[in-house]
Amino acid sequence: MKPALSALYGLALATLISAPAAMAQETTPAVVFDMGGKFDKSFNEAAYNGAERFKRETGIAYRDFEVTNEAQREQALRNMARRGGTIVVSIGFAQASGLEKVATEFPNVKFAIIDAVVNKPNVQSIVFKEHEGSFLVGMAAALTSKTGKLGFVGGMDIPLIHKFEAGFAAGAKAANAKVKVIAQYVGTTPDAWNNPGKAKEIAGSMRAKGADIIFAAAGASGNGVIDYIKQRSEEHTSELQSH
């Protein structure tokens, strides 16, 4: 999600611009990445890139933590606030319940969350219209497809990712009413965000059914789809060279 690139950067920079220089120097930003890690080539990494940009442009370091299991989310947010974090950004909707508790405990700390709404006076909720961007992807896919069959690989089977699927399918149908969209999800638990092997299998099965363009909204699992496409491309190149 590109908007997440500057979530931390934008929130912290806005605070610093409106603050005296001395106060800016005392600002301690923190970010809690969700499962999949800050190098997931997806939404976590987008936020990481934004945080790194903030550090480069302001010279202010930030603290971070990578959640590896569900039980760590709430405690990680609490630890950041206790350690003096003045702006704490939580990446991902799954941190909403923990953030609601922690934000109440630390009313003087500013928090932000991506992909969820937490109705607290000290929390900035950052949400997007995922279906609109996906609509454009669907249109482009349908206009490009040679088989008239498209694939959608979702990560965790939840309403948020359903919006990606719905927008993608609607855009595809708007461009070509006869196009067929094959959709499948990696799983129903948070592990679905970090299972590239399963996503690669799904991509292969979709290709076997005729899908020549596959759109993934699956966190780190999406790397499996990319790996499959890359492998297919290399095999195709090899076949051409052998002829």
Condensed to tens digits (0 to 9), the pLDDT of residues 178-231 reads 999 999 999 999 889 889 999 999 999 999 999 999 999 998 899 999 999 999
Please answer whether residues 89 and 112 qualify as being in contact, where contact means their C-beta atoms are separated by less than 8 angstroms. yes
Burial 136-148 (b: 16+ CB within 10 A, else e): ebbbebbeebeee
Please answer whether residues 118 and 103 qualify as being in contact, where contact means their C-beta atoms are separated by less than 8 angstroms. yes
Q: Output the furthest CA–CA distance in the chain (Å, rounded).
A: 69
**Distances in Å between the alpha carbon of 22 and those of 30, 81, 82, 134, 153?**
19, 20, 21, 43, 48
Amino acid of residue 40: D
- Give the pLDDT confidence score for residue 42 in this predicted structure: 82
- Give the pLDDT confidence score for residue 2 in this predicted structure: 44
- Name the average pLDDT for the chain: 87
- Give the pLDDT confidence score for residue 36 in this predicted structure: 80
Q: What is the rounded average pLDDT of the residues 29-42?
A: 88
pLDDT tens digit sequence for 91-130: 999 999 999 999 999 999 999 999 899 999 999 999 889 8
pLDDT tens digit sequence for 13-34: 444 444 555 445 577 899 999 9
- The answer to whether residue 166 scores a pLDDT higher than 90 is yes
Question: What is the reported pTM?
Answer: 0.73
- Give the pLDDT confidence score for residue 69 in this predicted structure: 87
Q: How far apart are CA 64 and CA 44, in angstroms?
A: 12
Q: How far apart are CA 120 and CA 122, in angstroms?
A: 5
Task: With CA atoms as reference, report the closest residue to 136 among 98, 175, 107, 108.
Answer: 175
Q: How far apart are CA 199 and CA 8, in angstroms?
A: 29
Q: How far apart are CA 106 and CA 22, in angstroms?
A: 22
Q: If pLDDT is split at 50, 70 and 90, which confidence band does 77 have?
A: very high
- The answer to whether residue 3 scores a pLDDT higher than 60 is no
- Give the pLDDT confidence score for residue 113 in this predicted structure: 95
What is the per-residue DSSP string for 93-156?
GGGHHHHHHHHHH-TTSEEEEESS----TTEEEE---HHHHHHHHHHHHHHH-SSSEEEEEEEE
3-state class of 181 per DSSP? Answer: strand
- CB count in 10 Å sphere of residue 8: 30
- Say how many residues make up the chain: 243
Q: Which residues contact 243 (CB under 8 A, 6 or more apart)?
A: none
Q: If pLDDT is split at 50, 70 and 90, which confidence band does 162 have?
A: very high
